[in-house]
Amino acid sequence: MSRALQKYLDHVMAYANRKQEDAIKIRTELEDHLMQKIADLEAQGLPREDAIFQAIEDHGTARTVGYGLRKGFALLDVRTEGTARGFVAIGPRAIGVIAFGGVAVGLFAFGGFAIGAIAFGWLAVAALISCGGISLAPMGAALGLAVLGRIAIGMVAGGGLAVGLWVPWAVDRVSLLGGDDGLQFLQHFRTFQSSVAVVVIISWLFIISPFLTGVMGAIESSEHQRIEKADPKLAQ
Amino acid sequence: MKLLRKQMLDGNVQTMLLAILEAGPSYGYAIVKDLNTRAKGILQLGEGTIYPVLHRMEEKKLISASWRNAENGRERKYYRLTAKGRRALTANCQQWRLLTSVMKEVLGPAAKRSPEVELKGAAI
Torsion of CA A188, A192, A193, A196, to 10 degrees: 100
Mean pLDDT on B80-87: 97
* Chain B contact for A59 (CB, 8 A cutoff): yes
- The sign of the dihedral angle between the CA atoms of B112, B118, B123, B124 is positive
Q: Give the SS3 label for residue A170.
A: strand
| Neighbouring-strand partners of residue A105 | A95, A115
| pTM, to two decimals | 0.72
Q: How far apart are CA A171 and CA A164, in angstroms?
A: 13
Torsion of CA B77, B82, B86, B89, to 10 degrees: -50
DSSP state of B123: E
* Chain B contact for A37 (CB, 8 A cutoff): yes
Comparing A23-37, A107-121, A212-226, B93-107, which segment has the lowest mean pLDDT? A212-226
* Chain B contact for A65 (CB, 8 A cutoff): yes
ipTM of the complex: 0.83
* Chain B contact for A54 (CB, 8 A cutoff): no
Option in A12, A33, A72 nearest B47 (CB) = A33
* Chain B contact for A71 (CB, 8 A cutoff): no
Chains A, B: CB contacts under 8 A, how many? Answer: 60
Q: How far apart are CA A224 and CA A220, in angstroms?
A: 6
Q: Any residues with CB less than 8 A from the CB of A186 and at least 6 apart, and which?
A: none
Query: Over the stretch A99-135, which tens digit does the pLDDT of each residue have?
Result: 998 999 999 999 899 999 999 999 999 999 898 889 9
Q: Do A32 and B55 touch (CB under 8 A)?
A: no
Option in A12, A35, A69 nearest B55 (CB) = A69
